[in-house]
């Protein structure tokens, strides 16, 4: 039995020798990894707390090879986990112990940049930032800009519906992708969407984007490009307490202002970032807001004047406006470096990704402060504040017994509080394996059943990224029994609001 493994459904055995022999029929040796030393780099994505070794890693170089891989795995009942750059933060690309990893890393070509149509056709392994670099000579760029844009790939962005600091005005991945080419688990190729403004039929494009590799494997993406603005400036506002900063965010949107970006960082985050990046942040402020305006010089001047008025009324203790492009980029460099900056001051950190209504930001920040005391762990907070997308960074030490368990419980409470406040358990990082229990809190039984029916329509055998994103009803029943509170208030910290 040394060369046998059970599949994810525990109902048949996979003959590893047969799998290897079948894959070698169409994959050259350098496209198939089997040894433990070669598999180890693929054992996790950016969420390193969850790890698993796959049976094999396939690195196809052509769509025909992708088709053959999927057909082979379908016929043998082998689970398939598609992988991009591995920068995801929810365990969405964690391998299946009895399956393969299908890496799209070698699908890294920009196939076409169309200046007139303002679009680019790229393979899924192309880095996010590379699209904007290719479009720059035409005065265009790709708007979604995750903090990991220097490394993350378009295929991964599609899988997770990634956002970024400018998603408030320009939207998430789903708002910037026009068409995708997909291979099903049976090896059938189909295209969804169109280069035209609209396409007939059901909106399967929105369904596929954010589906975390559970419905098909993307082999080509057509993205929308937008013109570079004539001018962009950032307003940096300091606040003496985080509640006022949270209220200021809601006040800006309530005033009818939609900035290009609206980000928030608390004092713990800026204290980590400033020595690392030297962005020019106010180290005495309890929280800072970064609010960007872009457009023509006249539009920018008018919007910054309106934003400044709102910020003053909201109690900002200091307001600065970037005076050069270099200064603007420094302000953003600090925000985008928040994750690695926190990584320099703690052995480990756990990045969460809940979303709440903007008007509840102050409540959430106060609740997180109480949770720091409850769990005995520090937390630095960075937010895509304009759309209420939180990224609390829970600091812990994985080498200390019990630290990870407390961090995990801390994160779960933040996610469940996000739902209680009228929000969601994710904004852009996806569910993966990390938040699968909280899906049971977010959705009712009929809703989860509907998700399973959609999954079955695309992947009846359940081989694409099994065990991710959508929980089984049995899992939800078990999680519910674990969280019965016998009349206790679920979130006592909310009683004071």
pLDDT of the residue at 197: 80
CATH code for residues 231-341: 3.30.70.2190
Per-residue pLDDT in tens (0 to 9) along the chain, 497 residues: 345 555 444 455 678 899 999 999 999 999 999 999 999 999 999 999 999 999 999 999 999 999 999 999 999 999 999 999 999 999 999 999 999 999 999 999 999 999 999 999 999 999 999 999 999 999 999 999 998 999 999 999 999 999 999 999 999 999 999 999 999 999 999 999 999 888 888 999 999 999 999 999 999 999 999 999 999 999 999 999 888 998 999 999 999 999 999 999 999 999 999 999 999 999 999 999 999 999 999 999 999 999 999 999 999 999 999 999 999 999 999 999 999 999 999 999 999 999 999 889 889 988 999 999 999 999 999 999 999 999 999 999 999 999 999 999 999 999 999 999 999 999 999 999 999 999 999 999 999 999 999 999 999 999 999 999 999 999 999 998 666 443 343 444 433 33
pLDDT of the residue at 482: 66
Query: Cα–Cα distance between 232 and 370 in angstroms, integer?
Result: 38
Name the strand (E) or helix (H) holding 103.
strand 100-103
**What is the DSSP-derived secondary structure letter of residue 228?**
P
pLDDT of the residue at 199: 81
CATH code for residues 110-227: 3.30.465.10
Query: Cα–Cα distance between 329 and 280 in angstroms, integer?
Result: 11
pLDDT of the residue at 359: 86
Helices (H) and strands (E) in the chain, counts: 17, 20
Predicted structure pTM score: 0.91
pLDDT of the residue at 491: 43
Q: Which fold has domain 4-103?
A: 3.30.43
pLDDT of the residue at 251: 94
- Residue whose structure tokens are 């394996």: 433
pLDDT of the residue at 4: 52
pLDDT of the residue at 10: 47
pLDDT of the residue at 361: 87
Give, in words, the CATH class of 347-496: alpha beta
Quote the tokens at residue 23. 């894959």
Distant-in-sequence, close-in-space partners of 67: CB < 8 Å, separation ≥ 6: 183, 187, 189
Query: Cα–Cα distance between 58 and 68 in angstroms, integer?
Result: 11
**What is the DSSP-derived secondary structure letter of residue 283?**
T
**Nearest-CA neighbor of 269 among 328, 351, 324?**
351
pLDDT of the residue at 417: 97
pLDDT of the residue at 198: 81
Q: What angle do CA 443, 485, 445 make, to 5 degrees?
A: 20
Distant-in-sequence, close-in-space partners of 151: CB < 8 Å, separation ≥ 6: 85, 87, 127
pLDDT of the residue at 8: 44
Query: Cα–Cα distance between 390 and 362 in angstroms, integer?
Result: 12
């Amino acid at each position: 039995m040394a060369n046998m493994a059970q599949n994810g459904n525990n109902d048949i055995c996979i003959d590893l020798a047969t799998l290897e022999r079948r894959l070698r029929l169409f994959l050259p040796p350098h496209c198939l990894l089997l040894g433990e030393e070669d598999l180890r780099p693929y054992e996790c994505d950016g969420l390193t707390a969850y790890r698993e070794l796959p049976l094999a890693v396939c690195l196809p170089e052509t769509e025909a090879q992708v088709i053959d891989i999927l057909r082979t795995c379908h016929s043998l009942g082998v689970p398939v986990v598609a992988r991009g750059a591995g920068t995801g933060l929810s365990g969405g690309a964690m391998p299946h112990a009895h399956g393969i990893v299908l890496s799209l890393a070698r699908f890294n070509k920009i196939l076409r940049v169309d200046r007139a149509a303002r679009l680019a056709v790229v393979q899924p392994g192309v880095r996010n930032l590379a699209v904007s670099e290719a479009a720059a000579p035409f005065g265009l760029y790709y708007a979604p800009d995750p903090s990991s844009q220097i490394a993350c790939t378009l295929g991964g962005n599609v899988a997770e519906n990634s956002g970024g600091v400018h998603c408030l005005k320009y939207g998430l991945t789903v708002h910037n992708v026009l068409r995708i080419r997909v291979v099903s688990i049976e090896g059938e190729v189909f295209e969804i969407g169109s280069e035209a403004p609209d396409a007939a039929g059901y909106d399967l494009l929105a369904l596929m984007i954010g589906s975390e590799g559970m419905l098909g494997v993307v082999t080509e993406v057509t993205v929308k490009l937008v013109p570079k603005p004539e001018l962009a400036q950032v307003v940096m506002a300091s606040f003496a307490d985080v509640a006022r900063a949270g209220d200021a965010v809601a006040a800006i949107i309530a005033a009818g202002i939609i900035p290009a970006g609206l980000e928030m960082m608390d004092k713990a985050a800026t204290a980590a970032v400033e020595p690392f990046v030297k962005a020019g942040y106010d180290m005495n402020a309890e929280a800072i807001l970064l609010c960007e305006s872009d457009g023509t010089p006249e539009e920018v001047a008018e919007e910054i004047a309106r934003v400044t008025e709102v910020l003053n009324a909201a109690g900002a203790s200091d307001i600065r406006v970037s005076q050069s492009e270099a200064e603007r980029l420094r302000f953003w460099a600090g925000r985008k470096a928040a994750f690695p900056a926190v990584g320099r001051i703690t052995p480990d950190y756990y990045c969460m990704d809940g979303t709440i209504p903007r008007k509840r930001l102050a409540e959430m920040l106060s609740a997180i402060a109480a949770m720091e005391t409850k769990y005995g762990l520090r937390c630095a907070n960075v937010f895509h504040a304009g759309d209420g997308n939180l990224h609390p960074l829970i600091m812990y030490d994985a080498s200390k017994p019990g630290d990870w368990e407390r961090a995990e419980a801390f994160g779960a409470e933040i996610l469940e509080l996000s739902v209680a406040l009228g929000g969601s358990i994710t904004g852009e990082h996806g569910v993966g394996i990390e938040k699968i229990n909280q899906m049971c809190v977010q959705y009712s039984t009929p809703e989860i059943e509907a998700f399973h029916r959609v999954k079955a329509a695309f992947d009846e055998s359940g081989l694409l990224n099994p065990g991710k994103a959508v929980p089984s009803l049995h899992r939800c029943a078990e999680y519910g029994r674990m969280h019965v509170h016998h009349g206790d208030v679920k979130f006592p910290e909310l009683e004071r609001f």
